[in-house]
């Protein structure tokens, strides 16, 4: 998984190259990472991850402090046929995920930020069981919300006066021993 996350971060930084050449005059913005932001995210965690994020950053010299929130979903679904009896089906699906936390970063260049993050995460997990025959006798669906903590880090690259791309790795550790590793890329707009 780590190789996918690193590849995502490098791809996000590589996408910024052509745009940087077009905006040489704006490269010396003193507070390039200050303000409200919104972003779209997509990535991988055993399935497709997609979502929206928002937050606020404040730059002090080369250091950046911020708060952020995110709402995402995943297509991750694991199923096992014949789990308990011939013809049955047992599935576990990762659903919506809510994250609220903070980040601290360091501007390694006027338009490039390396950052780490930590915060609260809450993931919905749904378990489906369908008996083989007759299915109505033992079929059920149960959803549970799992609380946890998310740690992560990434690179953010400005590609325009207000736009940026980023690549990020995240590890989320939930109660009951559940955890996820995901890598995401994003594109955002800073106000």
Give me the DSSP letters along the chain: -HHHHHHHHHHHHHHHHHHHHHTGGGTT-TTTT-EEEEEEEEEESSSEEEEEEEEEEEEETTEEEEEEEEEEEE--EEEEETSSSTT-EEEEEEEEEEEEEEEEEEEEETTEEEEEEEEEEEEEEEEEEE-SSSGGGT-EEEEEEEEEEEEEEEEEEE-SSSEEEEEEEEEEEEGGG-EEEEEEEEEEEE-
pLDDT the model gives residue 134: 63
- Phi, psi of 61, rounded to the nearest 5 degrees: 65, -120
Mean pLDDT of 151-172: 96
Mean pLDDT of 146-166: 96
Burial call 164-176: b when 16+ CB within 10 Å, e when fewer: bbbbbbbbbebee
Contact status, residue 90 vs residue 78, Cβ threshold 8 Å: no
Does the predicted model carry a pTM greater than 0.85? no
Mean pLDDT of 93-104: 95
Residue 174 pairs in a beta bridge with 148
pLDDT at 154 over 90: yes
Lowest mean pLDDT among 62-71, 134-143, 174-183: 134-143
pLDDT the model gives residue 84: 79
pLDDT band per the 50, 70, 90 thresholds, residue 86 = confident
Q: What is the CATH number of the domain that holds 23?
A: 2.40.160
Residue 107 within a domain: yes
> What pLDDT, in 10s, does the model give residues 132-147?
766 556 788 899 999 9
pLDDT at 25 over 50: no
Mean pLDDT of the chain: 85
Residue 76 within a domain: yes
Residue 142 within a domain: yes
Residue 41 within a domain: no
pLDDT band per the 50, 70, 90 thresholds, residue 188 = very high
pLDDT at 64 over 60: yes
Residue 40 within a domain: no
Residue 138 within a domain: yes
Residue 35 within a domain: no
Residue 115 within a domain: yes
Domain span at residue 15 reads: 2-27+55-190
- The count of domains in the chain is 1
Tokens representing 117 are: 């993050």
């Amino acid at each position: 998984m780590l190789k996918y996350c690193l590849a995502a971060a490098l791809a996000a930084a590589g996408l910024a190259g052509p745009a940087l050449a077009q905006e040489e005059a704006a490269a010396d913005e003193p507070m390039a990472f200050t303000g409200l932001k919104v972003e779209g995210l997509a990535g991988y965690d055993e399935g497709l991850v997609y979502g929206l994020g928002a937050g606020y950053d404040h730059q002090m010299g080369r250091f950046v402090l911020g708060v952020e929130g995110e709402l995402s979903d995943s297509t991750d679904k694991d199923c096992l046929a014949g789990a308990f009896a011939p013809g049955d089906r047992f599935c576990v699906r990762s659903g919506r995920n809510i994250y609220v936390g903070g980040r601290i970063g360091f501007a390694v260049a006027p338009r490039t930020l390396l950052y780490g993050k930590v915060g609260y995460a809450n993931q919905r997990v749904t378990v489906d069981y369908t008996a083989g025959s007759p299915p109505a006798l033992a079929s059920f669906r149960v959803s549970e919300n799992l609380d946890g903590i998310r740690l992560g880090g990434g690179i953010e690259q400005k590609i325009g006066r207000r736009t940026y791309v980023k690549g990020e790795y995240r590890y989320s550790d939930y109660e009951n021993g559940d955890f996820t590793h995901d890598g995401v890329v994003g594109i955002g707009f800073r106000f």
